[in-house]
């Protein structure tokens, strides 16, 4: 196992066990070794989002989207984070981009619907 693989696996172990600070440090170390590893970047973004560190999370999601601009899961997860951050209007654009990539994504449709409901756009949500 190379250095990246070891760091990434250790990060996953800590992340699953709820040791988020340790996991974050290991994800960051893994990303330093392999900066374009989208799984490490997405996992770190999700971790930072769960800690309420939305600006840090957004930076990592944006890195992934530079590499995979049409990735439905990343677009949807980023939009979900934007809703939690309190910017559903911004999230709507990412949900719609995700639906352009995969119109049948149930998670994306549900997220967009919830965001629209939160903005009081009931007819659009339906």
Task: Report the candidate in 67, 65, 90, 30 with the shortest Cα–Cα distance to residue 44.
Answer: 30
What rounded mean pLDDT belongs to the chain?
97
Q: DSSP label at 68?
A: -
Separation between Cα atoms, residue 63 and residue 1, nearest integer Å = 26
Q: Which pLDDT does position 46 carry in this prediction? A: 97
pLDDT at 25 over 90: yes
pLDDT at 6 over 90: yes
Whether the full predicted model's pTM is greater than 0.95, yes or no, is no
pLDDT at 1 over 70: no
Q: Which residue has tokens 């590499």? A: 67
Compute the average pLDDT of residues 3-18. 97
Q: Which pLDDT does position 110 carry in this prediction? A: 97
- What digits encode the pLDDT tens for the residues 37-94? 999 999 999 999 999 999 999 999 999 999 999 999 999 999 999 999 999 999 999 9
Cβ(75)–Cβ(62) under 8 Å? no
Q: Which pLDDT does position 111 carry in this prediction? A: 98
- pLDDT bin (cut points 50, 70, 90) of residue 2 is confident
């Amino acid at each position: 196992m190379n250095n990246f693989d070891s760091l990434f696996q250790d990060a996953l172990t800590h992340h699953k066990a709820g040791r988020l600070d340790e996991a974050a440090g290991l994800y960051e170390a893994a990303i330093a070794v392999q900066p374009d590893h989208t799984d490490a970047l997405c996992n770190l973004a999700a971790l930072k989002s769960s800690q309420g560190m939305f600006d840090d999370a957004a930076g990592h999601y944006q890195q992934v989207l530079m590499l995979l601009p049409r990735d439905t899961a990343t677009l949807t997860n980023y939009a979900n984070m934007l809703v939690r951050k309190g910017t559903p209007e911004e999230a709507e654009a990412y949900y719609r981009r995700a639906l352009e990539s995969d119109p049948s994504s149930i998670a994306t449709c549900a997220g967009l619907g919830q965001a629209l409901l939160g903005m009081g756009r009931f007819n659009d949500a339906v």
